[in-house]
Amino acid sequence: MNLQIPFNKPHLTGKEAHYMYQAVYNGKLSGNGEFTKCCQRFFEEKYGFKKCLLTTSCTDALEMAAILCGIQPGDEVIVPSYTFVSSALAFVRQGAKIVFADSMKRNPNIDAEQIEALITPRTKVIVPVHYAGVACDMDRIMEIAEKHHLLVVEDAAQAIDSYYKGRPLGTIGHLSAFSFHETKNIISGEGGMLGINDDRFIRRAEIIWEKGTNRAEFFRGEVNKYGWCDIGSSFLPSEVVAAFLWAQLEHLDDIQSKRKQLWNKYYELLKPLADEGRFHLPDIPDYATNNAHMFYLVCNSLQERTALIKKLKENDILAVFHYLSLHSSEYYKDKHDGRELPECDRYADCLVRLPMYYELNEDDLEKISKLLAL
């Protein structure tokens, strides 16, 4: 299929292959080398994380978080149902029961006002997902967590370089997970990162990261031999992946400003159609910034969304929907407690994502908006 306008195109900044070549000839290809350290330091210094660890995916970072939170079989974790599988899966692998929460009416983020009613003596963690890189109401969520002695793991997969009341997303909860999958703003093919904001987790996180060993401490000369001290896995990416990521991070500001420019143009072009009631535009609360991760529309019905996607497809433009509600997924439907989650179902039926990538230009956007006006 040769699409005129695909849904996504991975953007290269130009130096990826050069840095990968350098990593190859540095003589150190495994993880936790110079490029890995550069990337981690970049995030720690720019955003103020206590510690960052690159991982091979956001899913892996969430799995590390589930281990660090000490999830035991039967523990409960509160997760929005309108999210990517990994937000729940990572905790399920440690034996957690997922208690799904509904989205807000105004946008697909977890409805913080409904969280407290879901808490039981077995609840351990709340997982806010910053959908489209737009912040959840973190003050409210942290206040609930503190009151009930819960941990907060931010699924910040889509939320790089986005803020809540001036605070970078991923630095507010105890732990956070980012994705550098090729569909995100900053990419390394597959890739991710664990953000740690609570000192208690730093040492153990490094051990879990390196197959349950204290290898990182050994290479820093802090211990004179290393061995097996905990559970864990091989969560760290190779230097080749970190080298690719470094080339992207060097251009973070340029990538973000280009995406925001496109996002704003979309908004301006589609505003008159939204005013006519054809669909709803993304909602960004006053407490949140927009990192232009995606441009979505919420249609008035499933039928209207199907027609919209079809019309674009006939013109070789690919728009997509996603997130079938996790509470009614094949894997979880029999485990769910039966509560209805109407907002989540509405987004699953009515939300559509328009093409969004660095190389899009204003002509493309005008073409798309003209089609949507028909």
Ligand X SMILES: *Cc1c(COP(=O)(O)O)cnc(C)c1O
The torsion defined by the Cα of 176, 60, 73 and 174, in degrees rounded to 10, comes to -10
Region of 216 on the Ramachandran plot (φ > 0 left; ψ -120 to 50 alpha; else beta) = alpha
Residues binding ligand X: number (CB under 6 A): 14
Sequence-ordered strand ranges (E) for 242-314: 279-280, 295-299
Whichever of 135 and 365 has its CB closer to ligand X, that residue is 135
Q: Which residue in 36, 86, 103, 109 binds ligand X (CB under 6 A)?
A: 86
CA distance 148 to 131: 25
Maximum Cα–Cα distance across the chain = 71
Task: Report if residue 84 touches ligand X, rule: CB under 6 A.
Answer: yes
The strand order across the sheet containing 76-80 reads 51-55, 192-196, 175-179, 151-155, 123-126, 76-80, 97-101
Residue type, 137: D
Whichever of 79 and 99 has its CB closer to ligand X, that residue is 79
CA distance 71 to 279: 41
Binding mask 38-77 for ligand X (x = CB under 6 A): -------------------xxx------------------
Question: From the CB of 188, what's the least distance to ligand X, in Å?
Answer: 9
Question: From the CB of 45, what's the least distance to ligand X, in Å?
Answer: 23
295-299 and 351-354 as β-strands: parallel, antiparallel, unpaired?
antiparallel
Whichever of 190 and 250 has its CB closer to ligand X, that residue is 190
Whichever of 32 and 176 has its CB closer to ligand X, that residue is 176
Question: From the CB of 183, what's the least distance to ligand X, in Å?
Answer: 7
Binders in 153-172 for ligand X, by CB under 6 A: 155, 157-158
Binders in 167-196 for ligand X, by CB under 6 A: 179, 181, 192
Interface positions with ligand X (CB under 6 A):
57-59, 83-84, 86-87, 129, 155, 157-158, 179, 181, 192
